[in-house]
Amino acid sequence: MISRVSVEALRPRWREFRLRFHLLNRNLLVRIALIIIAVEIVIAVVAPYIAPHRDSIYGIADPALKLLPPSWTYPFGTDELGRDIFSRVLYGTRISLGAGTVTVALSLLIGVPLGAIAGYRAGVIDDVIMRITDVFLSFPSLLMAIVIAAFLGPSLRNAIIACAISWWPWYTRIIRGSAISLRERQFVRAAHAIGTPGPKIVAGHILPNCIGPVIVQASLDFGSVVLILSALSFLGLGAQAPTPEWGLMINTSRNYFLTAWWYIIFPGLGIVITVLVFNLLGDGLREVLDPRTRKY
């Protein structure tokens, strides 16, 4: 049986969860964003099975069908090789969401531990980590990603690595700022006083209390990461043909913009919608996870 003490301890957490759910659910734009994100995730998972012309996904073409306008058979039209754009855009959702998720995860994996260590330990370790961070932050993220991707060579994998390397310093700064304020709290001082090892304090007390700002920032960054990865593919430094990646499709379609408007419109809409909904989600999560921005 669950003790009465345990039930009483869970009530504040349950009330906080209900409040957060209410704040997230009452925002119409956030609800729409969540629905669209859920639809995109489902499309990403089942894209190979629902694409009406699967042969078009990785480049099996029929030149006799090139640059056909949208129709019932080809809802988004066809490209210069006669491939179904609708099938390629669907599969591009899988590539863009997958690449964005891996990039953000790698950035968090690098930036979060470094920020927590810098904020908790301070002193020389903090100075070294933050000076390295400042060097990376002194360059625009897109410019650094372009340089690194060009050095590593054109491929989607290298574009993901380049984007992650240029993005991790933002998380380091966020976590460091939270860790500096947390290390003076009584529960952290108490853990230190009883001899708890530093790594255990960081993992058990610092990081769990920094997770809110990181979640908000990651959700806001996801759309930007998808945009940068598409930009790298557009420049020829990311995904390579015949991969149906949105940025690469836009790069190819610019040669046919005046005669086949549908070729550039639909991959572009995929990027625009993805960036927009993740920005809306980030704004909603900021209101939910940061009490200072709540509008009761």
Asked if residue 6 is part of any domain, the answer here is no
DSSP annotation of 204: I
Is residue 175 a contact partner of residue 258, using CB atoms and an 8 Å limit? no
Asked if residue 68 is part of any domain, the answer here is no
pLDDT at 190: 80
Domain that holds residue 193: 18-54+73-293
**C-alpha distance from residue 242 to each of 28, 55, 80, 116, 246 (Å):** 39, 12, 12, 42, 12
For residue 216, give the CATH number of its domain: 1.10.3720.10
For the chain, helix, strand, coil in percent to 5 are: 75, 0, 20
Domain count for the chain, please give it: 1
Asked if residue 4 is part of any domain, the answer here is no
pLDDT single digits (tens) 24-66? 667 778 888 889 999 999 999 999 889 888 888 887 777 888 8
Asked if residue 229 is part of any domain, the answer here is yes
pLDDT single digits (tens) 150-184? 999 999 999 999 999 999 998 998 888 888 888 77
Asked if residue 161 is part of any domain, the answer here is yes
pLDDT single digits (tens) 223-264? 999 999 999 999 999 999 888 999 999 999 988 988 899 999
Asked if residue 67 is part of any domain, the answer here is no
Asked if residue 104 is part of any domain, the answer here is yes
Asked if residue 63 is part of any domain, the answer here is no
Whole-prediction pTM:
0.85
Q: How confident is the model at residue 110 (pLDDT cuts 50, 70, 90)?
A: very high
